[in-house]
Amino acid sequence: MADQGSWKLLNDRGGEGVILAADFPATGRPEAGFAEFAPRIAPGLQLWETVPTGAGAPGAGSGADQVARWVDGLPGGDIPVVGVFGYCAGSVYAAALAEHVTKRQETAPAVVLFDPEAVSELTLYWQFHKVVGNLSVVLSPTEVGDAQEAGKKAREENPELVPFGAALDRIFQDVGRTAFARAGLDAERSAELGGTFTAFVSYLTAATEIDYAAGWAAATAITSRTETNGLNLARSNGREDLIGREITFDIDHADLLRDEDVARTVLGLLG
């Protein structure tokens, strides 16, 4: 049994094998998560999803500590890890997890990455831009635009990734307080939502500490048609040859983990 503080069991279909999935799950996000992929897991397999460190918790800003906590909480016993999945920036963590798993068992797990992304300042800003845009149901277009412009200015003023992430977090907390108040949320719920964004920024910046090159070179990428995600974004910035094998689907990034054809292909990769 895996440590419930480090992993969440999404689907228990038996004891023949375990699949580990690295992601930052968040309530209400438009992109499908591994919880939506879980019902498609073949009989005999369990799907475990990473539980990221919360905002302000020890090790929240350390990629090595994050991975170590997950490794310490891995399922014990004789059940092999047959696959390691990663979604977006979680693909960086997936590479590190697969390396640790390979040292613990005789057979290396299959590594499948869904629109894998290496975190950069563009990644941070794009995620901030989307989250602020989601507040448009309670904020005016001017308020949303001003916050997003403030994010662009923060990028110019903070060339280093960690300070840039901290600046984006401050901007989000300011605009978030206004949005949450208009939505009628109480202080506890507002603090929870603000803390989730802070934890997400920590999760992204910590990923930059991990060397993922060898892990990605041995992995298979599942690529969507969305130009602003995964290997599509990397290629638009002149980066090639990041992945061992790539399979593309003519679907949006948000739908990768809910698509039946994707699920059949991925389960086939597990053998």
Task: Give residue-wise pLDDT tens across range 86-134.
Answer: 999 999 999 999 999 999 888 899 999 999 998 888 889 988 998 999 8
Residue 264 and residue 238 share a domain: yes
For residue 104, what are the domain limits?
A: 7-118+209-269
How many domains is the chain built from? 2
Residue 259 and residue 213 share a domain: yes
Residue 242 and residue 188 share a domain: no
Asked if residue 21 belongs to a domain, the reply is yes
**CATH code of the domain containing 251:** 3.40.50.1820
Residue 200 and residue 105 share a domain: no
What is the distance, to the nearest Å, from the Cα of residue 99 to the centroid of all Cα atoms in its chain?
A: 18
Residue 216 and residue 104 share a domain: yes
Any idea which residue has 């901007």 for tokens? 171
Assess contact for 70 and 3: CB atoms under 8 A: no
Q: Does residue 237 surpass a pLDDT of 70?
A: no
Residue 214 and residue 105 share a domain: yes
Collect all residues with Cβ–Cβ distance below 8 Å to 91 and sequence separation of at least 6: 22, 113, 114, 115, 116, 117, 212, 216, 219
Residue 220 and residue 256 share a domain: yes
CA distances from 68 to 22, 62, 101, 169, 227 (A): 13, 10, 12, 25, 33
Per-residue pLDDT at 59? 46
Asked if residue 1 belongs to a domain, the reply is no
Residue 37 and residue 164 share a domain: no
